[in-house]
Amino acid sequence: MRVSVLLSLLIPLILLPTPAKAASVTAGDVISAQPTTVYLLPGKLLEVPVNAWHLLYRSTSATGSLNAVSGTLLVPKASYPLGRRPIIGYAVGTHGLGDQCAPSVSMREGREAELALVSLFLLKGFAVAITDYEGLGTPSQHTYMAGISQGQAVLDSVRAATRLPASGLSPSAPIGIMGYSQGGASAAWAAQLQPTYAPELRLRGVAAGGVPADLKAVAEHLDGTANFGLGAAAGVGLDAAYDELDLFNDLNDRGKALMADAADDCVGDLGKLAGLSFADLSPIDLLNQPKWVARLTENRLGARLPQVPMFLYHARGDETIPHAVGATLRSEYCAGGVNTRWASLSAGSHVLGAVEGGPLAIEWLALRIYGLPAFGNC
C-alpha cells in the first residue's frame, strides 16, 4: 500500500518535461537580421545589386563584456564559381559619434563614400561584412578609437555573416580584412586579436592603411590643429569604453559644454573644434594622467603580432596621422617576424592616401584570398 502511494506521488514528477537548457550566447551570434537596400548615390539612386541585411550581432567590449553591435552584410546575387564564397570584414574610417553617422545608415541613404572601395570586392564575387562598431547605431556611446573593441567588432561581423543561414556563407570560407584610418586601426587590431579571439576564422591576410597605431602620439600631433576634433572625439570614445577615465569630471566648464555637444556629431561637424587644444578643455594634463596613459598604452598597436600576412600603407603627406606612426608599426611587425608588405605613398593628405592606397590594398588582399603567397619587404 505504501509503495503504491509512493509511486502515485513520484510518477507525475518523473513524467514532467525536463526544463530546456538556456541557449548559450557567444560572440558572433546573430540577434536579428533585416533585409535592407544599399544605394551608391543620395536620393536612393543606383541600388547596389546585392542581397543585403542589416544585422544586430553579439560582440565583446574592450573590457570583456558581451554587447550588441550593428552592421551590414552584402552578398553578391550571382553564385560564386570558385568554391566557398570569400568574406571580407571591411572596417570603415571615421564616421562620427552619433547613431545617424553609422555606415549602415549612410549606405541605406546613398551617402557612403567607402562603397566605392567595397564595390570592388563585390565585383570579385566576395561577400562584405561592414560593422558599425560598438555604440554606433545602437543605444550607447560609440567607443571611438578603442581598438580592442573595434577589432573584435570586425571579427564578430564576419562570424555573424557565417551564422546567418540566408547568406549561404560558410564558416570555413577564406577571410580577408581591410580598413583605413579608424578602419586601419580596427583591421590591424582584428589581425592581432584573431589568433586568440577568433582562431576558427580562416584569415588569409589583412590590409590596413593610415593606421593610428599610437593613439597618444596621434593625439599630441592633433593638439591645437585643424583636426583637433578627431583627438577630442577619441577622448569621448575611450571614456565610453573605460569607466575609470571619467573624462567629464576632469574637464572645465567650456570642455564639458564642447564635449557634450560633440558626443553625437558626425565627422563633418567636428571641424567646429578646429584649433583648440586639450589645455583649452581641461585644467590638467589629460594625456599624461596615469589612467589615460594606461589605457592608451593598452590600445597601442604592435605589442601583439598577427599570424597572417599584413599590407600596411600610409601617405607621406598625411596631415592627420603622422607617417612616422605607420612606419613604426611596420618596423615593429617586421622585427617580430610578421610577413609585412609596406607601401609609403606619394599622396599629400590623409584622404588622398585612402584614394591611392585603397585599390592597391584590395588587389593585394584578393591575391591572399586566392591562395597566392605573400612577399614582404621588411
Per-residue pLDDT tens over the stretch 158-216:
999 999 999 999 999 999 999 999 999 999 999 999 999 999 999 999 999 999 999 99
Domain assignment present for 96: yes
**Same domain as 116, residue 253:** no
Smallest CA-to-CA distance from 133 within 119, 147, 122 is with 147
What global pTM score does this model have? Answer: 0.92
**Same domain as 251, residue 317:** no
Compute the average pLDDT of residues 82-99.
96
Contact 141, 236 (CB under 8 A): yes
Domain assignment present for 282: yes
**Same domain as 86, residue 170:** yes
Length of the chain: 378
Domain assignment present for 378: no
What number of CA atoms fall less than 13 Å from residue 53's CA on the CB side? 23
**Same domain as 73, residue 209:** yes
pLDDT tier at 23, thresholds 50, 70, 90:
low
- Give the per-residue pLDDT at 25: 84
Can you tell me the distance from the alpha carbon of 226 to that of 239, in angstroms, rounded to the nearest whole number? Answer: 22
Domains identified in the chain, total number: 2
Range of the domain at 229: 221-296
Write the pLDDT tens digit of every residue in 303-322.
999 999 999 999 999 999 99
Domain assignment present for 131: yes
Answer yes or no: is pLDDT of 1 > 70.
no
Quickly count: other Cβ atoms within 10 Å of residue 291's Cβ: 13
**Same domain as 182, residue 36:** yes
Domain assignment present for 376: no
**Same domain as 154, residue 52:** yes
Q: How far is CA 246 from CA 251, 252, 289, 291, 299, in A?
A: 10, 13, 12, 10, 17
**Same domain as 274, residue 164:** no
**Same domain as 324, residue 259:** no
**Same domain as 330, residue 291:** no
pLDDT tier at 270, thresholds 50, 70, 90:
very high
Q: Mean pLDDT for the chain?
A: 93
**Same domain as 36, residue 149:** yes
**Same domain as 193, residue 128:** yes
Write the pLDDT tens digit of every residue in 35-58.
999 999 998 888 999 999 999 999
CATH number at residue 121: 3.40.50.1820
pLDDT tier at 24, thresholds 50, 70, 90:
confident
